[in-house]
Chain A
Amino acid sequence: MNLNILDFERPIYELESKIEELKNFMKEQNIDLTEEIQLLEDKMVKVSETIYQKLHPWQILQIARHPERPLTSDYIQLICDDFLELHGDRHYGDDQAILGGIGLIEGNPVTIIGHQKGTTTRENLQRNFGMAHPEGYRKALRLMKQAEKFNRPIITFINTPGAYPGIGAEERGQAEAIARNLLEMSELTVPILVYVIGEGGSGGALGIGVGDRIIMFQFSYYSVCTPEACATILWHDTQEAKNASEALRITAKDLLEIGIVDDVLQEPRGGAHRNPVAMAKNLKQSILQNLVHLKTLSKEELIAQRYSKFRNTGQYLDIQINQSNQI
């Protein structure tokens, strides 16, 4: 039995196992149950469509954090013809929470950088659950500068609960490392595509998140802080996390509406973990499409567009001219 089934997924899994049962029964007993199976399969599609159409942000958060959700390394493997991981920030160490390297996608050279969680407890400890230290952000910047030198587009995959809050991280300048990336990324002369593939946790996510296109996977989230932290800080009650997940507007759909992200990448029914191959296909297609478009821009145009993209984020009142800047 799969322990990683989320509560709201249960009806789908139950139908699935019933179908499986009937199929086995049909085989063993040599009875034709095709019609019954078809009925159940239709029902399953309907049930899951209903469930996934109206997920609460809290449920989307659970999918984004799903232990079986595909990771940066999975997508790299599925979309690249070739990939070489490159290590280290040349200053202090090699942060395993951020993975980076060079590769080919349909023959196009690219630099790929992403937060990397683990699949096992052991690997998660090694990868620090995808929570990077300063050296992770500095490794990312080194690889981005390298990409710029060789005129390679950059693709980043965001999947982190946040930058690591620890003593070493503070000592080595977590804030400076993130700030530096924001500044430098705004002026890199190669196209940058940013994909939020799972968790988009605060400044730790944004630290590799400045780009020409910001695209969220359908069941990912991106938030100024985790709903748990928000609930604790604002309402002194972790039980309020579910409400916070709604109030903070963290889903792909919300953030597309607010104008923070440029596009939402549809996930296979039930989420990326149900069909990583199909998800990777969508991703690859999106990458290639966006790169074709961005490659038509001159370096000056690219940077100017990126600047105005971030320059125009925010909603505030301008009393003097009495109009609100709604993006």
Chain B
Amino acid sequence: MFRELFRSKNKYVTVNRDPQYSDRSEHETEKVPEIRERVKVEKEGDHLWTKCKSCQEIIYNKKLAENQMVCPVCDYHFRISARDRINSLLDEDSFIELFSEVTSTNPLNFKGYAEQLEKNQKKTNLRDAVITGRGKLCGTPVALGVMDFGFAGGSMGSAVGEKLTSLIEYAASKRLPLVIISTAGGARMQEGMLSLMQMAKTSAALARYAKAGLLYISVLTDPTSGGVTASYAMLGDINIAEPGALIAFAGPRVIKQTISQELPEGFQTAEFLLEHGMVDRVVHRHELQDELSRILRIHRMVGEVS
């Protein structure tokens, strides 16, 4: 009944929303292809409304965007673009993008990869799957890296690895706290071993950063898996996850195939990781800015007893 009602009106409304989250990306990622389909924003109409995958509620896209892509009824956390994420976290106009000039190439001449890159660039208006830069979070300067699942399933190739490594080194040189918000299918297959080695590269940079006594907060969002989880995403001084996020090394389908049995309820969710000691906190998107700012504040304070 409601469906019909909304459909009949869809011509009048234009909602300014990134369309890439409704699109099934052809650009598959390592190990966990199934995660792309966990949330699928409804394509019917012309993006007027979205049906919540969790509670089935029909939500106006405008309202969903205003609510930081969180279902107002059941708190389901939809995926959010890197740009929207930056806007929701940083002080207005404080963000300065860095290393934006670094982009992917097709080093292995992998069939179809160049076209896929172009398509993803057009679709997302991003150069690659991560935005890096600096800005202010509730007044505190931070170095910030935000991945975008809409670009090639957030996969990490040479460009993503290079941008994040540059960001980590930049944060170390400026003695800035570092926040990386991850969402990824893993290493980008089309760049072969060059992608895999980005795991070692980013982790080595984090080792140096840690040695400088600086704070790194890793925020894991839906979904984070494969080589990204098995490198910088798990290496925060503080690891934070968004409610319900799928966080894995191997994706559920791969595991199911390997062990040929059903997976336990809630397996590999943020809450599961909290229970198993892999993340420090599960934080609602609406609380994230506040929590980050509190953590930053505690690390900034120099008390009289210390």
Instruction: Please give the residue numbers on chain A whose beta carbons come within 8 Å of chain B beta carbons, in ascending order.
Output: 163-167, 169-176, 178-180, 182-184, 186-187, 202-203, 206-207, 209-210, 222-225, 229-230, 233-234, 247-250, 255, 258, 260, 306-307, 310-311, 313-321, 324-326
Contacts and interface: CB of A to CB of B under 8 A. Distances in A.
Interface of B: 28-31, 33, 101-105, 107-108, 110-111, 157-159, 161-162, 165, 187-189, 191-201, 203-208, 210-211, 226-227, 229-235, 248-250, 254-255, 258-259, 263-264, 267-268, 276-278
Contacts of A224: 30, 187-189, 191-193, 195-196, 227
A260 B230 contact: no
Contacts of B200: 182, 186, 206, 209-210, 310, 313
A310 B169 CA distance: 14
Given A206-B199, A249-B193, A311-B204, A167 B264 contact: yes
Contacts of A210: 200, 203-204
B203 A315 contact: no
Is the contact region of chain B dominated by helix, strand, or loop, or is it mixed? helix
A179 B201 contact: no
Nearest to A321: B101
A310 B230 contact: no
A271 to B, nearest CB: 22
25 contacts: A165-B255, A174-B249, A178-B199, A178-B249, A179-B233, A179-B235, A182-B204, A183-B203, A183-B207, A203-B196, A203-B226, A210-B200, A224-B195, A229-B31, A234-B189, A249-B192, A250-B193, A258-B108, A260-B194, A310-B197, A315-B191, A316-B103, A316-B157, A317-B159, A319-B103
B104 to A, nearest CB: 6
B214 to A, nearest CB: 14
Contacts of A166: 250, 255, 258-259
Contacts of A307: 204, 208
A260 B197 contact: yes
A258 B158 contact: no
Contacts of A187: 204, 207-208, 211
The 8 closest A-B pairs by CB, nearest first: A165-B250, A314-B158, A186-B204, A182-B203, A320-B101, A315-B107, A175-B229, A175-B249
Given A223-B196, A229-B254, A314-B157, 4 more contacts: A202-B227, A206-B199, A224-B195, A248-B192
B33 A233 contact: yes
A233 B204 CA distance: 29
Contact of A314 (B197, B230, B264): B197
A170 B250 contact: yes
Contact of A317 (B102, B206, B278): B102
Contact of A179 (B110, B231, B264): B231
Contacts of A167: 255, 259, 263-264, 267
A289 to B, nearest CB: 24
Contacts of A180: 234-235
B192 A250 contact: yes
Contacts of B233: 175, 179
B193 A310 contact: no
